[in-house]
Amino acid sequence: MNHDPFTTFGGWFAEAQATEPNDPNAMILATATAAGRPAARTVLLKAWDQRGFVFYTNLTSRKSEELNQNPSAALLFHWKILHRQVRIEGTVSLVADGEADAYFSTRPRASQLGAWTSAQSKELADRETFDREFSATETRFTGQPVPRPPFWSGWRLTPAYFEFWQDQQFRLHDRITYKRDKDQWITGRLYP
């Protein structure tokens, strides 16, 4: 293991991209309300660097509401073929508008239109309602680029803690941790 958790993550993530058949960038995002009520869901990692791990969503969604109430969150990557998982804990903040605009422009047009159409996490009477609203959004943007909605952006989780878990025979797993201490990472090991 490297003394830098981002280097370790990069190596493991590259292996996952080479071996996992579906969405090696899928991660569980765990949030909690201000009162501590937890929730978890799968989101897709869209960027990562020394600043943290980025995913995108509707800013009125349940996850965004919870992140606004309580900016502490956790991520979990599970790569079944490699028998590995990575846990990351930290705080979140919104990405810069320019970064969100740049990513949004790379999305397929239907995904861009879907971002405008979906009132993510809100009650939907029936699928036909959504399909009708999507068609209206298509008409609205006919013949022009689809701009990023003002209610859609990215969140960056800035890590304070990593755990790299490697499956071992007889459940004698390896668990390596990194804890942020000012400007350095302190490594450790946990019992299986």
pTM of the model: 0.95
> What tens digit of pLDDT does each residue of 91-144 get?
999 999 999 999 999 999 999 999 999 999 999 999 999 999 999 999 999 999
Residues 60-88 pLDDT 10s: 999 999 999 999 999 999 999 999 999 99
**Extents of the domains making up the chain:** 5-100+155-189, 106-147
Q: What CATH topology corresponds to 5-100+155-189?
A: Pnp Oxidase; Chain A (2.30.110)
With tokens 């909605």, the residue in question is 149
Residues 156-192 pLDDT 10s: 999 999 999 999 888 889 999 999 999 999 999 999 9
Residue 87 appears among annotated catalytic residues: no
Average pLDDT of the chain to the nearest whole number: 96
Which of 171, 175, 180, 189 is an active site residue?
171
Residue 152 has pLDDT above 80, yes or no: yes
Q: What is the pLDDT of residue 165?
A: 97
> What pLDDT, on the 0 to 100 scale, is given for residue 171?
85
Q: What is the dihedral of CA 127, 130, 135, 136, to 10 degrees?
A: 150
Say what the pLDDT of residue 91 is.
98
